[in-house]
């Protein structure tokens, strides 16, 4: 399932019961919010996130989401090893799939040649005042503050180069709700991460696989 499907199911007792009838569940296609991961800790179903790309043909790493072995880190499947390039992006060695290494645009924290933590996409990084911000990291920080879908992106700015913008899938909030949201954001985000602008879109654009397009 994709995260949005799981989000929908965990909202109702009937949906939770449906998931509980599954022994093992792979959740993929987009990032999983910290709020959803918290909800999944209460169910018996063994939930996993996998890492893979079109280029690798198949999944090459696995992360347990809930249960005793839950972790933020992906661990390589047999025969796969990792390193990072000068951008701190993941490089994959999978000889059984391809002789040459796969060079990705995924920024990671690497712990060994078989274990890494995914941080975000290099092509999504916002360079604001020479400070590099990974939108996926700040999205995770505020995942429990909004029930609407949202994402962070950068817009050109004369002074900063790029400014951080929060885009929310909704009709515009009223002034009171916007002010309340800004107060909550200030508690969890630093001054570089805090959005200089909040934009509302009635509907997000998506790829054919259901991933959000970070366009305004």
The residue extents of the domains of the chain are: 3-122, 125-201
| pTM, 2 dp | 0.78
pLDDT of 145 reads 93
pLDDT for 57 equals 67
Provide the terminal-to-terminal Cα distance of the chain, rounded to the nearest Å: 27
Pairwise CA distance, residues 65 & 22, whole Å: 15
pLDDT of residue 210: 66
The strand pair at 81-84 and 126-128 is best described as unpaired
Q: What is the pLDDT of residue 86?
A: 95
The CATH architecture one would assign to domain 3-122 is 3-Layer(aba) Sandwich (3.40)
Nearest to 25 by CA among 51, 52, 54, 2: 2
Q: What's residue 13's pLDDT? A: 87
Q: Kindly list the averaged pLDDT for each block of 10 residues, start to end, along the chain of length 216.
A: 88 88 89 84 92 78 93 94 95 88 94 95 92 92 91 93 95 96 96 96 82 80
CATH T-level fold of 125-201: GMP Synthetase; Chain A, domain 3 (3.30.300)
pLDDT at position 214 is 83
pLDDT at 183: 96
Cα–Cα distance measured from residue 80 to residue 92, given in angstroms and rounded to the nearest whole number? 7
Is there a shared CATH topology between the 3-122 domain and the 125-201 domain? Answer: no
Residues 6+ apart with CB under 8 A from 36: 3, 6, 7, 10, 143
| Residue where the block lists tokens 């954001």 | 185
User: Quick one: pLDDT at residue 209?
Assistant: 64
């Amino acid at each position: 399932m994709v995260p949005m499907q799981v989000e929908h199911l965990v909202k109702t007792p009937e949906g939770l019961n449906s998931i509980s009838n599954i022994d093992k569940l792979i959740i993929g296609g987009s990032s999983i919010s910290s709020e959803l991961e918290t909800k999944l800790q209460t169910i018996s179903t063994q939930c996993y996130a996998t890492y893979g790309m079109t280029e690798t043909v198949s999944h090459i790493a696995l992360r347990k989401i809930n249960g005793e072995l839950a972790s933020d880190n992906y661990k390589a499947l047999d025969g796969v090893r990792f390193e990072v390039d000068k951008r701190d992006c993941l490089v994959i060695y999978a000889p059984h799939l391809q002789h040459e290494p796969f060079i990705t645009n995924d920024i990671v924290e690497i712990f060994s040649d078989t274990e890494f933590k995914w941080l975000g996409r290099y092509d999504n990084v916002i360079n604001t005042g020479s400070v590099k911000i990974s939108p996926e990291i700040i999205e995770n920080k505020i995942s429990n503050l909004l029930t609407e879908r949202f994402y962070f992106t950068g817009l050109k700015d004369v002074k900063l180069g790029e400014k951080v913008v929060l885009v929310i899938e909704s009709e515009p909030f009223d002034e009171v709700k916007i002010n309340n949201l800004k107060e909550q954001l200030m508690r969890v985000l630093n001054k570089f991460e805090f959005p200089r602008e909040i934009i509302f879109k009635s509907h997000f654009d998506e790829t054919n696989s259901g991933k959000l397009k970070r366009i305004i």
